[in-house]
Amino acid sequence: MRRALNHLKKSDPVLAAIIARVGPCKMTYREPTFEALVRAVTFQQLNGNAARTIYNRLVEAAGGEISPESIRNTTVGEMRRAGLSKQKIAYIRDLAEHAASGSLDFTVLPGLSDDEVISALTQVKGIGEWTAHMFLMFALRRPNVLPTGDFGVRSAIRKAYKKRYKTKDGLPSPAHIQKLAKAWHPYCSVASWYLWRSLESTPEI
């Protein structure tokens, strides 16, 4: 981590100021399992407290354990009462089918490249690039992931770098972010974490 911080501080003075203000990097990791991906889907587009409540209810409905088998044995009604939307129920059940059939094998993911992991995960309904990026960063612990579509990263860049972007939402585009992040490689995951912390918000899976 020291090497990553030294690199980022030397390569980007704006990021160096954020690092100085935020302090040590304390990324929270999970194991790269089916359960972690179910949790990531649950947390999509929700604030942390609401998502944690819903996820805990899902665990209870599934008998205390999240696995492909327990999800398949949990009814749609039980999942709905846990607080999951119809869409997320469909996504999680589709994920369970992929995992149970072996078309998505979590044991091989650690050995795949970032692009291969993204390709494997996004075959599942409801698993987009953002969720795949979060899984790469917080479960597979990949050091150089750049979530260019993440609202928090885009908002933090606009605030920290004080630039105007000619986009519909006024936030930097993926191309802008990729250009800015050239100096961050090979530690884009750490840079992203600091950008989130600069807004006092970090995604969870």
156 and 192 share one domain:
yes
On whether the CB atoms of residues 92 and 84 are closer than 8 A, the answer is yes
Cis, bond preceding 186 (omega within 30 deg of 0): yes
- Do the domain assignments include residue 166? yes
Same domain, 98 and 168: no
Q: Residue 137's Cα: distance from chain center in Å?
A: 7
C-alpha span between 195 and 189 (Å, rounded): 10
- Domain of residue 45 covers 34-138
Q: Is residue 204 part of a domain?
A: no
What are the distances in angstroms from CA 29 to CA 32, 41, 60, 126? Answer: 9, 16, 23, 22
8 and 94 assigned to the same domain: no
Q: Is residue 205 one of the residues assigned to a domain?
A: no
Q: Are residues 18 and 41 in the same domain?
A: no
CB burial of residue 152 (10 Å; 0-12, 13-18, 19+): middle
Assess whether 126 and 162 both reside in one domain.
no
**pLDDT score for 46:** 78
Q: What is the CATH number of the domain that holds 105?
A: 1.10.340.30
Model confidence pTM above 0.95? no
* SS3 per residue for the chain: CHHHHHHHHHHCHHHHHHHHHHCCCCCCCCCCCHHHHHHHHHHCCCCHHHHHHHHHHHHHHCCCCCCHHHHHCCCHHHHHHCCCCHHHHHHHHHHHHHHHHCCCCCCCHHHCCHHHHHHHHCCCCCCCHHHHHHHHHHCCCCCCCCCCCCHHHHHHHHHHHCCCCCCCCCCCCHHHHHHHHHHCCCCHHHHHHHHHHHCCCCCCC
Q: Are residues 50 and 100 in the same domain?
A: yes
- Give Cβ neighbours of residue 190 (< 8 Å, ≥ 6 apart): 1, 4, 5, 8, 25, 27, 143
Measured CA to CA, the distance from residue 28 to residue 161 in angstroms comes to 26
In a structure prediction context, what are the per-residue pLDDT tens digits for the chain, which is 205 residues long? 899 999 999 999 999 999 999 999 998 899 999 999 999 899 888 777 888 999 999 999 999 999 999 999 999 999 999 999 999 999 999 999 999 999 999 999 999 999 999 999 999 998 999 999 999 999 999 999 999 988 889 999 999 998 888 888 889 999 999 999 999 999 999 999 999 999 887 676 7
Are 166 and 187 part of one and the same domain?
Answer: yes
